[in-house]
Chains A and B, each alone.
Chain A
Amino acid sequence: MSIGQNNIYAEQKMSLTPNRWDIVALIVVLGVIGAFIWSGRQMAAPYNIGQPLPISLDPRYLPSYSVRTVSRMLIGLFFSLLFTFIFGTWAAKSKQAEKFIIPLVDISQSVPVLAFQAISVVPFIMLFRGSLLGPECAAIFAIFTAQAWNMMLGFYQTVKTVPAELKEAADMFHLSAWQRFWRIEVPFSMPSLLWNTMMSMSASWFFVVATEAISVNNQTINLPGIGSYIALAIQQSNLQAVMYAIITMLIVIILYDQILFRPLVKWSEKFKAEEVESDNESFSLVVTILQRTRFIAYCGMIIGIISDLFVNSFTWLSKASSKRAVISKTVSKYVVWLWNTLLFGVCLATVFYLLQFILTAVNFHEIEHVFVLGLITAARVLILILLCSLIWVPVGVWIGMRPRAAQLAAPFVQFVAAFPANLLFPLVVILILRFHLNVQIWTTPLMILGAQWYILFNVIAGASALPKDLYHAANNFNVRGWLWWRRFVLPGIFPFYITGAITAAGGAWNASIVAEVVHWGHTTLRATGLGAYISEYTRLGDFHRIALGVGVMCLFVIALNRILWRPLYNLAEKRFGVL
C-alpha cells in the first residue's frame, strides 16, 4: 500500500550482525547483570546473629560495597514502584480506599525512616533465621520507606488528573482495566513518576549510613556496603577513608545517573502530555549508543513484542468495572456509612492503643518534655528555611533569569541534590571541635544541607517561567531595586517557592534525627531536640519512647502543614497562580 508500511516492516528485516556499538553496549549490559547476580548471592549467605561481619577500610573493597548498597536501593526501588502502582492506583480509583490510604501515607511520610527500621528488624530476622536475608530485608525495608511515599503520592495525584476525555476515549474503545493502566495511567504519570523516583533515590542515599547499621539485642549488625564503610571510617576518625567513600559515591551516582536515569528521562520525554514540541530535549549518551547498536536494537523489538503481549493479556480484567453499577444506591450508601464508621473505629483504637503503650513506660512530665523538644526542633526547621531562602532565592532568581546559566546549573544542582549531605557531617564536627563552637547552633545547618536544594530548584524553575513580557514591562517602567523584588519577582515565583519550601521543611524534619546527634571517632555532639531524642532511644531500642518521639514528630509535622504550609499553598495557588 504505502511507504509507511515499508518503514514499519523495515526494522524486522535489518541485519543481525553486531556492529562495534554492540560490543560496548553488550559489555555494559553483561557487567551490570553480573554484578547484581553476585550481589544477590551474597545477600542470601548463611548468617547467625552475633557472627561478626568484617568491614574493611581498604579502598579495594569499595567497588563491591557499592554494588551491594546500590542493589539494596534498587530492590527498595522495585518494591516502591510496586507499592506505588498498587496503592496509588487503588487510592485514585476508589473513594473508600482513598480515605484511609492517603492519610496513612501522609503520616508515614512524617515518620522517620529509622523508626520503621527499628520496628521491622526483629520480624525480618525471625522470618529468615540463619540467613543474612533477615538483616538485608530490614535494611531494604528502611530504604523502601525512604523512597515509597513521595512516589506513591505523586503517582496518585497524576492518575487523578488524567483528562476526562482520555478516560472517555478509553471507555469508548473498551480498554480493560489492565490495558488502561499501562496505556493511559502509567504513561500519563511517567514524567512526574520518574522525577519522584530520582528524588527518592537521593533520599535513600541520605539514609544509607543509618540503614546499613542494624541494631538488635544491643548488638549492631553492619551489613557490607558503603554505609557501613562510612560508619566505620567515622568511628575510627579516618578522614582519608571518608574521602574515599565520598569519591566512590560520586562515581556511583554518576554511573547510575548515566546508565539508568538519563536514558529513562530521555525516553519519558515522549510521555509529556504537552500540546507543542519543546525544543530543549535532554541528551543521553547511553541512548545514543543503544540507538547505534544493531543487535541490541533487535532485542528492543523483541521486548516491544513481549510488552505488547503483557499489556494485552489479562483481558478477564475488562468487564469488572461495569458490574459494579448494578448495586442499588441505598445499599451502597449503607456500605459507605459502615466503611466510614469502621475506619473511624480503627483510628480511635490505634490512637488509644498507642497512648496506652506509651503511658505504660512514660509519665506525663516526660511527654511534656518531648513536646518542648519538638518545639525546639520546629524552631530550628523554620529558622533554617528562612535562612536558606535568604540565600537561595536571590541566587535562584539570578540563575533562572538567565537561560544559559539555568541550562548550565540544572545538571549541577541536580547532582548536589543527589549527593548525601551527611557525608559532610564529620567535617562539620571537626570544625566545631576545632573552633569550640556552640553545638546547639552549629549542628543545626546539617539538617538543611540536603533539603535546601529543593528551594533552589523551585526558585530557578519559577524564575525561568516568569513571562518575558512582564520582565520587559518592569524594565520599561523603570521598576528597580526593592520595588522590583516586591512587585514583580517575589509574587511571580511565590507558588514555586512555596512548593520548594514545603518539601525542604519535610526533608529537614526527617534529617533532624541524623543531624542532631553526630559522631566523629569517640566524640559525640548532641544538640537538644526531638531528633536527638528519637535517635538516642532508637539506639537503645526503647520502643515506648521511640513511639512517643515519632508520634510527637508526626503531630508537629502535620500541625505545621495544616497551620502554615497548606494556607500558604492555597494562597499561592489562588492569588499568584495566574502565570
Chain B
Amino acid sequence: MAETIVEVKKVVKSFKKSAKQELLVLDDVDFTMREGEIVALLGKSGSGKSTLLRIIAGLIHPSYGDVNYRGEPVTEPANGIAMVFQNFALMPWLTVLQNVELGLEAIGIPRDERRQRALKAIDIIGMDGFESAYPKELSGGMRQRVGFARALVVEPDILLMDEPFSALDVLTADNLKSDLLDLWQQKKTRINAILLVTHNIEEAVEIADRILIFRSDPGRIRAELTVDIPHPRSDQDPRYRELVDQIYTLMTTSPDRPERLLAAGGKPREIGLGYRLPDVDISVLTGLVEEMADPEYAQRIDLPELSEELSLDVDDLLALTEILEILRFANISKGDIELTPAGRRFASADILQRKKIFAAHLIRYVPLARNIRRVLNERPSHRASEERFLGELEDYLSEEEAERVLKVVIDWGRYAEVFAYDYNTGILSLDNPE
C-alpha cells in the first residue's frame, strides 16, 4: 500500500454562535490520503467539506481531533501543501508572473531563480505569452490557470483544490480538467496527491480515484466509493452512469431515514421547526413541477437525467427535490423522483389555485410557516415582528442561518398569501398589502 500523506483523525469542528451555543459543522471525520491518488470530497453546499479542506490546509484549527501531514501535526499552513481557490484569489495588482512568483518570494528564493521557476510553471500550464498581463485582462479559465501555476511553482507534495472549476463555464472547465489530468498522469509535476472539493457529481466521477460523500448538518463522511474506471472516462460508459446513479441515491436519501421505509411506502419526511430549509425560488420550483408533469417524461424520472435535461446544477436540483419531498409534491427513491397526486394537481392548476394548494401544503408540512400563521391568528392585532421568530429559530440555528431560513419561509408565505410582510419595519401580519 502506498505511503500515507494526510491523516485526519476524529476531527470535530464547531463554530460559536452565541455565548452558550455552538454550531457543529464537522462531526467525527476520519480519513487518510495516500500517495498517488486523487480524492474527491463530494457534498451539498454548506456540508462542511470546504471547512475540512481548510483544516487540512492549516487555515482553520479543528475543535477536536488531529490532522497529520507526513506524520507531523498540522497547526499552520505546512510547506508542501498548496491550494487552488474557487474564485482564483489572484492579486489584481500583480502581473501573472508576479502572482506566480509570490509563493516563492515568501520562502525567500532569490530573484533570478524565482523568475526562472515561475516562467517554467507558466509555460507548463500553457499561459506562456501572458506573463506581463494583469488578472483583469484574462478570462476566468485563464485566471484559474494562473491559480494552478501559482500552486505548482512551489512544487507541492499535495495539492488542495476548493471547487476550482465551479466559477467557470462548462467548456472551459472541461478543458482545464483534462489538462490537469494530463499533467498528473504524465507526472510533469512533483505532486503526490490531490484533494478536490466539489459539489458536482460528474466532476468527481470524472477525475477522482476515490470519492468521499459528505452528508450535511453536521458534516460527516457518509460513504466512500472507489472509482476504478480507466482514464479517459467517458460519460457514456455504463460503469460511469451506474456510479453517478449510485451517488445520486446516496445524496438524496438521508441516513436517518433508511431507504426501505420509503420503498415500502412508509412514512415520508417530517421536518422540525429548526429545519434548514434550502433556498428555493418559487418560480423555479413551479417550473420544475410543470416540467416533470410533462407527458414526455415517465412517471419515475431519473435524477441525473433530469439534471442534464434542465442543465441544473446538482446542488440546485437536490435543493429543489428536497423541498418537493417536504411539501409532499414528490417522492424520491433510489435516485428517481416521482410526482405525487398533489404534485400533479399543483402542476395543472392555474395561478390562483396553485397558490391555494401551495398554501395548504406549506402550513401543513412546514412547521415554521405553521407557527408563524398560528401566532398571527392568535394575536388580536394579527401582527408580529420578525425578531420574534428569529429568536425562536436561533435556538436551533446560527444567527445567519436563522435569518436565511426565515427569509425563505417569508418568501414562500408571501407567495402563498399565508401572511404579509413589510420590509421596512420587519413586521409580519395578516393584512393585505396596501
Residues of chain A having any CB pair with chain B under 8 Å: 1-5, 7-8, 163, 165-166, 168-169, 171-176, 179, 183-184, 187-188, 190, 270-277, 305, 308, 311-312, 315, 318, 322, 325, 575
Contacts and interface: CB of A to CB of B under 8 A. Distances in A.
Given A172-B57, A172-B77, 19 more contacts: A2-B119, A2-B128, A4-B132, A8-B119, A8-B131, A168-B54, A168-B83, A173-B82, A174-B106, A175-B102, A176-B106, A188-B93, A271-B93, A273-B92, A274-B92, A277-B137, A311-B105, A312-B105, A312-B108
Given A2-B123, A4-B122, A179-B105, A275 B93 contact: no
6 contacts: A4-B130, A7-B131, A8-B119, A270-B92, A271-B93, A315-B108
A179 B92 contact: no
Contacts of A322: 75-76
Contacts of B132: 4, 7-8
A474 to B, nearest CB: 22
B97 to A, nearest CB: 7
Contacts of A312: 105, 108
A187 B136 contact: no
A1 B136 CA distance: 26
B120 A1 contact: yes
Contacts of B186: none
Contact of A270 (B79, B87, B93): B93
Interface in B95-115: 97, 102-103, 105-108, 111, 115
Contact of B82 (A3, A165, A172, A276): A172
Nearest to A312: B105
B83 A308 contact: no
B129 interface: yes
**From B92, B93, B123, B150, residue with most partner A Cβ within 10 Å:** B93
Contacts of B432: none
Nearest to B79: A174
B136 A166 contact: no
Contact of B136 (A168, A169, A275): A275
A175 B129 contact: no
Contacts of B115: 8
B169 to A, nearest CB: 15
B424 A575 contact: yes
B89 A165 contact: yes
A183 B94 contact: yes
A187 B108 CA distance: 21
Interface footprint category on B: 35 or more
A443 to B, nearest CB: 41
Contacts of A172: 57, 59, 77, 81-83
Given A8-B97, A315-B108, A325 B61 contact: yes
Given A8-B131, A312-B105, A312-B108, A169 B120 contact: no
- Chain A contact residues: over half helix, strand or loop, or mixed? helix
B85 A165 contact: yes
Contacts of B85: 165, 168-169
A272 B130 CA distance: 20
A575 B122 CA distance: 46
A277 B137 CA distance: 7
A378 to B, nearest CB: 29
Contacts of B282: none
A6 B262 CA distance: 67
Contacts of A275: 136
A182 to B, nearest CB: 10
A79 B154 CA distance: 38
Nearest to A278: B136
Contacts of A273: 92-93
A179 B101 CA distance: 13
A227 B282 CA distance: 67
B170 to A, nearest CB: 20
A272 B108 contact: no
Contacts of B123: 1-2
Given A165-B87, A179-B106, A315-B108, A190 B57 contact: no
Nearest to B76: A322
Contacts of A318: 106
A4 B83 CA distance: 26
A272 B137 CA distance: 13
B389 interface: no
Contacts of B57: 168, 172
B375 interface: no
B91 interface: yes
A4 B128 contact: yes
B108 A173 contact: no
B119 A5 contact: yes
Given A8-B97, A183-B91, A270-B93, A173 B75 contact: no
B134 interface: yes
Interface in B178-229: none
Q: 5 tightest A-B contacts by CB?
A: A173-B103, A165-B89, A169-B89, A187-B93, A271-B93
Contacts of B82: 172-173
Nearest to A166: B89
B137 A4 contact: no
A293 to B, nearest CB: 20
Contact of B77 (A171, A183, A311): A171
Contacts of A175: 102, 105-106
A571 to B, nearest CB: 9
B102 A166 contact: no
Contacts of B83: 168-169, 172
A228 B57 CA distance: 61
A449 to B, nearest CB: 37
Contacts of B103: 173-174
A171 B111 contact: no
A120 B268 CA distance: 77
Contacts of A188: 93
